[in-house]
Structure 1
Amino acid sequence: MPRLLGVDIPNDKKAHISLTYLFGIGHQSARDLCHKAGIDADKKARDLSDEELSSIATIIERDYIVEGALRRQVAQNIGRLRDIKSYRGIRHRVGLPVRGQRTKTNARTRKGPKKTVAGKKGVKDLK
C-alpha cells in the first residue's frame, strides 16, 4: 500500500478514489490534485510511481489543510462555539443536532439509544 502523508491509501482503487481516504480530500479535490500533478485520475494507486506520489504530496502540503491539522482546526472551531456559549456551541455540548433538525422523532444518531422513562400505570376508576 502506498503511504501518502502518513496515511495508507488503498492499492486496488483508482488514484482519485484512493486520495479521498485522506481526511479533508473529497472527490472534487482529488480530481483537481490529479489534474495539477499531471496524473491520469483513472490510474490504479499501485501503479503510481514514487515521483507521482511525491508530487501529489507536495501539492497537498502547499495547497490543502488535511489530516491532523484539519481535525485540530475543526475541534478548535467547535471549542470556540462552546466557549462563547452560542446556540450551536450549546447543542454541541449537550450532544443534540446542531443544524436545526427535528428532535421530537429521529435524531437517534446524536441522542443515542432510547432511554425508557417509567410512565404512569393505568389509573383505576373507583365507581
Structure 2
Amino acid sequence: MPFIIGTPIPDNKILVQSVSHIYGIGLSKSKMLCQRAGFGDDSRGLNVTPHKSKFLENLMDKSNLLLGADLRRFQNDKIRKLYTIMTYRGLRHKKGLPVRGQRTHTNAKKRAHFNTNVS
C-alpha cells in the first residue's frame, strides 16, 4: 500500500478517488494530477510503483498548494489567531457554536452539546 503525502492509497480502490482523500485535494484536482502522472481512469492503487508515487508527489509540490498536515496547521493557526485577538468568530469557535451566522434557537444544538471544553 503506497503512501502519498502521509495518506495511504488502498490497493483495490480507484486511484483518482484515493488521491482525492488527501486533505486539500478534491476530485477534479485529483483527476488532473493522475492524468499528468500518466495514470488512466481505471488505474488502481496496485498500479502505483514507488517511482510513480514519487512523481505524483512532485506534481503536487509543484502545484503550490498547501496539502495534508500543512493545510490543517495553516487553518488551525488562523482560528487560533481569531481566539487571541478576541474576535466574535474566535469566541464562537472557542465555545463550539456556529460561526457563520446560523441560528441556534432550533438548530446547531449538537455542536455545542458535544464540545466538552466550553468556557
The bucket for the TM-score relative to the shorter chain is 0.7 to 0.9
Question: Could you say which structure has the larger radius of gyration?
Answer: 1
1:1-33 alpha-carbon deviations (Å, 9 max, x no partner): 111122212221111100122111111221121
In the alignment, the residues of structure 1 paired with residue 29 and residue 13 of structure 2 have an alpha-carbon distance, to the nearest angstrom, of: 16
Question: Bigger CA drift: 11-20 or 101-110?
Answer: 101-110
Q: 1:98 and 2:103 equivalent?
A: no
Percent identical pairs in the alignment equals 35
8 Å CA contact retained: 1:20, 1:26: yes
The TM-score with structure 2 as length reference comes to 0.84
Alignment of 1:42-61 (within 5 A): 42-61=42-61
Q: List alignment gaps of at least 5 residues for structure 2.
A: 115-119
Q: How far 1:97 moved relative to its partner?
A: 0.6
Q: How far 1:84 moved relative to its partner?
A: 1.9
Alignment of 1:39-118 (within 5 A): 39-63=39-63, 64-112=65-113
8 Å CA contact retained: 1:39, 1:52: no
Aligned residues: 113
1:33 maps to which residue? Answer: 33
| Root-mean-square deviation over aligned CA pairs | 1.6
1:31-51 alpha-carbon deviations (Å, 9 max, x no partner): 121122232133112122333
Q: List alignment gaps of at least 5 residues for structure 1.
A: 114-127
The TM-score with structure 1 as length reference comes to 0.79
Evaluate the alpha carbon distance shift between residue 88 and residue 41 of structure 1 in structure 2; reply closer, same or farther with a 3 A threshold: farther
1:16 maps to which residue? Answer: 16
Report the 3-state secondary structure (helix = DSSP H, G, I; strand = E; otherwise coil) of the residue aligned with 2:106: coil
1:7 maps to which residue? Answer: 7
In the alignment, the residues of structure 1 paired with residue 110 and residue 25 of structure 2 have an alpha-carbon distance, to the nearest angstrom, of: 24
Which contiguous aligned blocks of 4+ residues in structure 1 show a shift greater than 6 angstroms? none
